Amino acid sequence: MLKIVTKEGESRPFVLNAAQLHVHKMLEQQLKDQGNIRALVLKARQTGISTYTQGRNFWKVTQNRNANAFVLSHLAESTNAIFNMVRYFYDNVPHQAFKPPLASQSASTLVFDEINSRYRVGTARSTQTGRGQTNRFVHGSEEYELAQKYGLDDAQLSFRRAKLDELGGTDLFRQEYPSTPLEAFLTSGRCFVEESAISQCETNCYTADFKGDIVDGTLIEREHGNYQEWYPPSREENYVIGVDVAEGLAYGDYSCAQVLDSLGNQVACWHGHIDPFDYGALVAMLGKRYNTAYIVVERNNHGLGTLRKIQDLGYSNLFVESSVDGAYGDRLTKRGGFLTTSKTKPLIVDNLAALLRQGESGVADIELLNELRTYIIDDKGSYNSQNGCYDDRVMAYAIALHGLASMPRPRHRTIQKRFKSLDPVTGY
């Protein structure tokens, strides 16, 4: 009876696909069992669940008296798309017997006075959204999830909408009205990547299989150790270690070494206070544990001492930076380690942000994720940690990801034939 517009732009009868039919059967069974429907659908994209919901609600509203429907979306663009879909349903009903007269309409409402029913859509950021109407059929997205997660009532959701309108966005709202202790740290600036990307990444974090310390190549379990290992070394795998170096005092910034496999998955992390020279020995030991991993040391400041120690130990699989040096007649010069500057820092951070958006960051450590949430772009456009927070894990991880692109790949050995073929066709 209803018609939809396909992805190819064709108008066709609305026939339920497999996903829509599955949801339909579940809802009908719930209605039969308890007399109402309360469903939270964790839907994949492009399966047509939103289309099914709008079609179902539209049919209920137009074929029953005193039946109001309300749809709440989190973005104005989504709200407009939903309303256009509903309007298309109405305009293309094939028979007048199933098409109640339209008394009035606006950009968000269809009113059917003869049957005392109406269909409304709204955006979550509107202060008046959802008021002034008793609804039998409700379809919401973002707000239902927030209500379930934090136990919010209608008054609190209404307050949130009003403040979003007033403040003009979620970034400032989280700063002024934090929902979690982490959000409370965001006092200025904006996060370098969208919260949705970080939240998506959070679902892939898990507790490390080992926590403790690594001493002379031996793992010692300790509750408050500096070393975590999510996955032990695999003989056939290649690894890269990103190394961020701090001064080594008992307070202040931490040193951090992030270990990634060849696919960019986080497999281990060392994080703590240590003298830069001693840190070099520890990093070399960690590198040997992971198949003589490709080590990328940030050579700024104290990093030179760490890098020198690793070199003194005869560790050869190190990142070497090549650059054209004008002081030496534009000759190509090579220096060990990675130099973080105002030009190179945005490159490695933007790479990390892109992988987070694509859901391919490989992050396993929730503590790294917490640092990502407080890593911001300040008023001058620079990347830094929020005041009172740290970015050691973030920088070591971004450096390790940068190292993946230049990591040497093993060459497969070719075994020479030690016999002559008798027949060039058969080979024997």
Angle at 142 between CA 166 and CA 6, to 5 degrees: 115
Give the whole-angstrom CA distance, residue 399 versus residue 56: 51
Token look-up 């456009």 returns 381
45 or 6, which is more confident? 6
Residue 124 confidence class, pLDDT cut points 50, 70, 90: low
Q: Virtual CA dihedral for 367, 368, 373, 375, nearest 10 degrees?
A: 130
**What phi, psi does 123 have (nearest 5°)?**
-110, 140
Q: Which of 109-113, 350-354, 422-426 has the lowest mean pLDDT?
A: 422-426
Mean pLDDT of 15-25: 90
- Return the percentage of the chain with pLDDT > 90, whole number: 34
pLDDT tens string 147-177 = 777 788 878 877 877 776 676 666 667 767 7
The count of C-alpha atoms lying within 13 angstroms of the C-alpha of 227, restricted to the half-sphere facing its C-beta, is 21
pLDDT at 127: 46
At position 350, the amino acid (one-letter code) is D
Task: For residue range 217-265, list pLDDT tens digits in order.
Answer: 899 999 889 999 999 999 999 999 999 999 878 777 899 999 999 999 9
Residue 360 CA to its chain's centroid (Å): 8
Strand-strand pairing, 104-105 and 68-73: unpaired
pLDDT for 134 equals 67
- Residue of 336, 364, 361 lying closest to 349 (CA atoms): 361
Spatial separation of the C-alpha atoms in residues 308 and 209, rounded to whole Å = 32
CA angle 50, 53, 57 (to 5 degrees): 145
Q: Using only the alpha carbons of the chain, give its radius of gyration.
A: 30
The pLDDT score that the predictor gives to residue 171 is: 63
Q: Is the pLDDT of residue 375 over 60?
A: yes
Quote the CA–CA distance of 343 and 307 in Å, as a whole number.
22
The residue among 163 and 275 whose pLDDT is bigger is: 275
Per-residue pLDDT at 397: 97
Secondary structure letter of residue 117 according to DSSP: E
Measured distance CA(147)–CA(135) in Å, rounded: 18
Instruction: Delineate the domains of the chain, giving CATH numbers in brackets.
Output: 3-147 (no CATH), 199-404 (3.30.420.240)
Lowest pLDDT segment from 89-93, 129-133, 245-249, 360-364:
129-133
Mean pLDDT: which of 4-13, 181-190, 275-284, 378-387 is highest? 275-284
Half-sphere exposure of 92 (CA within 13 A, CB side): 16
pLDDT on residue 308: 94
pLDDT above 70 covers a percentage of the chain that reads 81
Give me the chain's average pLDDT, please. 83
pLDDT on residue 74: 57
